[in-house]
Each structure stands twice: as C-alpha cells, then as structure tokens.
Structure 1
Amino acid sequence: MTADTAGDAGAAENGFRRWRDAAREALYGPDGFYRRPGAGPAGHFRTSVHASPLYARAVARLLCRVDEALGRPPALDFVDMAAGRGELVTGVLGALPADVAERTRPFAVELAARPEGLDDRIVWRDEPPEGVTGLLFANEWLDNVPLDVAEVDASGTPRYVLVRADGAERLGKPVAGVDAGWLDRWWPLPPEEGLRAEIGLPRDHAWTAAVATLERGAAVAVDYAHGAGARPPFGTLTAFREGRETAPVPDGS
C-alpha cells in the first residue's frame, strides 16, 4: 500500500477518507446499514440476542439482581443500547417476574426508526436517558462505534488508512496527537510494514458517555475482545453479508 505523502487533501478529492468517517456514513447515514428499514442486522449476522431466548432470560435475571441491590426502587430502568429492532428489550420484558416488570421502565436506544408492533411500554430513543436507576446494557454496541484504522508504512510509521466507497484503500497522514497516544498505550505497533491497529479512542469516549447517564445501578458491555498483549497483527475490521464473512466495503450494504 502506498502512502499519501502529500497529505489527505488530494486523497479526499479522489473519494478517499478515513475509515471512521466512511464507516459512520455507511452504518448510520440516512441510508446506512443500521438505519435501513427491513430485517436489519439480523438479515446478515446473528448476535447472542438472536441465537437463543436464554440470553434475554439471563439479562432479565441480572436486572432482577440489580433491582435487589438497589432496594427495589419504585421505578427500575432498563436501557438497551444499540437495540436493533428491539429483540433484547422485548425478550427481557417477557422474562421478568410480574412484580419487577410492573416497575420496569424499558428504553431502547437506537438510530433506526421504531419498528412496528413493538410493546408500547418501550421508550424508543436515539440516545440514552439521563439519571438512569437500574441497568444499562450494551450488547455488541461498542464494536460498531466507528473508529480509524492505522497501518505501518515502509518506514515503520503508523499512518491513517484511507478508504473509498468501493473498499479501495491507501495510506494517509501519520497518526498523531491523542490517537498516537492511544496507540502507544493500548495497541503499540512494531515498525513492521503492513501491521494494523484500530484506534479505539472513540469507543472509550462512547462508553464513558453512556456510563455517565447512570445515577444508580450497573452498566454492562458485552462484546468481542482481546487483551493488550495479544492484539491481532492485522486488526479486526471485517464485514458480513447474508451470513458470510466478507471484505468490508463502506457503501452501506
């Protein structure tokens, strides 16, 4: 891969931009993957929510434990981050004991439009409510917060990876500032050409903001992960289409 030594301006003129910007539009733009009507993500891949009703039951049990720890408050909040089509929050409501369900205020946080036929009790929002008392649950949300990708060039310098809507890539400017600091701390790249990392700072910020909405209770993030000492050498960026893993192309499909 060649580096854009003149900077990112010329690349932008040719349709190249950083992965974070490209992914944001492809996933969450007006016609983005997560905002389109229809089956949504479940038409292309399954999470634990889709695989078995046991998952929703386990989350319901966790919510009951939080309820007990809080002294059974008059109103118990359940916030489902990145709610998809409301599958998890619906399953949790159906699995709660009647006395807990009566006090539960369910929130589904999602940028897509509210699906038809959803339980009227569920409040559909594009951001979490403030002052949550209960459980904020983020199931496979953080892995969909857009971020930049870095790749080491021939001189051993990590550079931003630029991408076009058709998936073509090239290297841009060297990673600098807080992004470089994050890489040094959490995903240091040896000076070996072609090694890659994802700069997770936006996900740190997103999780911090979500947790800040919690007044009393618990916040849980469930996602794929790897330790800082065992980072995959070429990153984790991938895509799925109709159940099959495929090359990521930021065109919304």
Structure 2
Amino acid sequence: MTTALYGPDGFFTRAAEGPADHFRTSVHASPLFAGALLRLIRDVDAALGHPATLDVVDVGAGRGELLAALHALLDTDPAPGLARRVRFTGVEVAARPAGLPADISWQRYVPEHLTGMLLATEWLDNVPLDVAEVDAEGRARRVLVDPATGQERLGPDVDPADRFWLSRWWPAARPGDRIEIGWPRDVAWADAVAALRRGCALAVDYGHLRSARPALGTLTGYRQGRQVPPRPDGSTDVTAHVAVDSAAAAAGTAYRIISQRAALRALGVGGGRPPLELARTDPAAYLRALSSAGAAGELIDPAGLGAHWWLLHEVGIELRGTMLAMSELASESSTQRRTNVITGAPAEGMA
C-alpha cells in the first residue's frame, strides 16, 4: 500500500493527475466547507489571543485546493488583520502544484512548533496499513495481495504489535472477519498533533468506532470517480476508513469526536431552502440561495459526506463558548448529541 500510494510512480506522487481527478471530497464539493473551516480558524485565533503569526497547516494537501480556497476567502476579507498574520503551509509528498499563491509554502513534512490550526481532511484514510483476516482457527493472519492482479491470499499471523492493537481496538473478531490494523494511523496522527505547540488539530475522515467496527472491513479503491477493487499498482486510490477513537486516544491530548453533519451545522452550514417569497422579490438571489442550499445538503448528508467524523484536539487553548462547543449543538436532540459528539481525556481512550 505504501509503494502503491507514495512510491516513485504512486497514486499521490504522479505529476499528471491530482486526487480530485479520482474522488470527490468535502473540499471539492463546495466552498462552503472552506468557509466553515475559516470560521473555526477565527475561533482558534481568538482563543490564542490573536498571535503575530497564525499557522494554518494542511496535512495531505492534495493539490492545495483547501489552502487556495482559504487564501481566496481571506483575500476578500473586509477585515484584513487575519490575512496579514496567517502563514499557510501545505504538507504533501507530491510536488508543489502550479498556480498556488506564492505565500503558501509547500513541504514534505509537518513543520514543528506550530501555533494555530493543523488540518487533515481525508488524509488518515490514505495512511498505509495492513489488513488481516481471521482464519477458521480464529487466528488473525495478514492478507497478502499481488499488485499486478489484485489477487489475495492469507499470509502469516499478525505480529505482537498488531495483536496488542487488536486486543484494545478491534476485539472479538470471528472467522472470516477482516480487520484493518490502524496503529500506523495512530502514530501518524500523534506525530502531527505533537507538532502543535498551541492551537487546534482537526482530522476529517470517514471512520468508525469500536462499538461498530465493520466485520468485512472497508478497504476499497477509487479511480476516475468510480469505486473499484483496491489494486495496489499505483493507478488507484487505495483507502480504508479510520478507527477514529483509536487515533483520538493516541494523540495524548483531550479530544472531541463530532459528526460532520453536526459540526457544519454548528458552523452555519444548514442546508435549509430559501423562502419562496425571495423568488418573487429577488429571483437571482433566490437561485443563488437555492444552489447554496443544495451544496450544503451534500456536505451534511448523513448518507454521504455528512457521515465523516471530525476529530478535534485543543492544545493549550479552550474553544468553549465558540461554535463547536457542545452548547452550540443544542439544536440536535439528546439522542443525536450522544451519537454526534464524543469527548475524551488523553489517558482514557475509548473504553
């Protein structure tokens, strides 16, 4: 999986194509997503006391689409104070894309000693991992794959580090179950969060929790906008959902896990249709509002992008009283809040 995604001719390192040619994320779906993140960035900036330099780092930046969108929003900001203080950095294995604004830096590794906002939108699902399957004797064995054909076979037993992670985060698997061993993602996320001196780290991704792990796994592929078998030959995006609670506990700091639907609604992305009266008084404004409502609906659709999880860590700050504080989710029913918002302390994990 590592070679297929990040090798010399890997899916993410090819110069000719970008990820957006193969799959659609929240960033690509609508500028409303970047607008919501900018509101969160403003909250983080305020919680930090408006520092002289505010880092905004996008890990797994693709071709810079999110940073370019945030940059454009700040360029038109009527209050330019934040724009003058923001330092944008894209972190990606691919070369710097053409046309990116010159003041967005581009590098291969997460910079250290950050003060501000660290973002990772659909990055963790592409951090390579091993897949195991439980055999008839109940042993978890690695799944080996031929890159040329995609044909799979069972290999040796998983190693002790894998077994330790499985016992904590993916227990009670039955013969035939497939398991996606998530500790490499935990390490990657913990390392990224550790680069943050003060501020907020946010991962956005498809995922699952220990209480509802998928018995058959989630490993799949995407190519040219279609879901395809996950052949690791460099031509295909190979991805698996994230064990979000495991990654949360690994970071060593308090966290909040929120559904994208709840998070975006708290940040002002509602998806409500404009009133019909507007169609009579200002037809052009009505059409714009209707288009925006459709885009918002896609972002918060619980059967689609709205099913993403937002994993939020506050490092040296508190966002209480801001848009993503739990009190801001009061519009959800108590049952929905239990589903949509999970909090945890660094030593607790998700028991």
TM-score normalised by length of structure 2: 0.64
Local SS of the residue matching 1:25: helix
Aligned to 1:182: 165
What is the correspondence of 1:35-54 to structure 2 with a 5 Å cutoff?
Answer: 35-54=13-32
What displacement does 1:243 show? 1.2
Matched, 1:168 2:146: no
Question: Percent identity, aligned pairs only?
Answer: 58
Q: Per-residue displacement from partner, 1:198-248 (whole Å, max 9, x unpaired)?
A: 000000000000001001101011111111111111101001111111110
Aligned to 2:57: 79
The list of structure 1 runs, each at least 4 consecutive aligned residues, that deviate by more than 6 angstroms after superposition, is none
1:191 and 1:67 map into 2 onto residues whose CA distance is 47
Q: Is the 8 A contact 2:58 2:67 kept in 1?
A: yes
Aligned to 2:242: none
Q: Is the 8 A contact 2:173 2:215 kept in 1?
A: no
Q: Which runs of 5+ in 1 are unaligned?
A: 1-22
1:107 and 1:191 map into 2 onto residues whose CA distance is 44
1:179 and 1:185 map into 2 onto residues whose CA distance is 10
Q: CA RMSD in A?
A: 0.9
What displacement does 1:59 show? 1.1
What is the correspondence of 1:29-108 to structure 2 with a 5 Å cutoff?
Answer: 29-96=7-74, 97=77, 98-108=80-90
Q: Per-residue displacement from partner, 1:91-121 (whole Å, max 9, x unpaired)?
A: 1112233210110000000000001111000
1:138 pairs, out of 114, 117, 120, with 120
1:110 pairs, out of 92, 110, 120, with 92
TM-score normalised by length of structure 1: 0.89
1:109 and 1:50 map into 2 onto residues whose CA distance is 18
2:181 pairs, out of 199, 214, 222, with 199
Aligned to 1:120: 102
Aligned length: 230
Q: Per-residue displacement from partner, 1:103-162 (whole Å, max 9, x unpaired)?
A: 000000000000111100001010111000000011011000000001011211110111
Local SS of the residue matching 1:185: helix
Aligned to 1:218: 200
Higher relative contact order (CA 8 A, sep 6+): 1
Aligned to 1:233: 215
Local SS of the residue matching 1:108: strand
2:42 and 2:68 map into 1 onto residues whose CA distance is 16
1:56 and 1:100 map into 2 onto residues whose CA distance is 15
2:210 and 2:122 map into 1 onto residues whose CA distance is 19
Query: Counterpart of 1:213 in structure 2: which amino acid?
Result: A
Q: Is the 8 A contact 1:189 1:197 kept in 2?
A: no
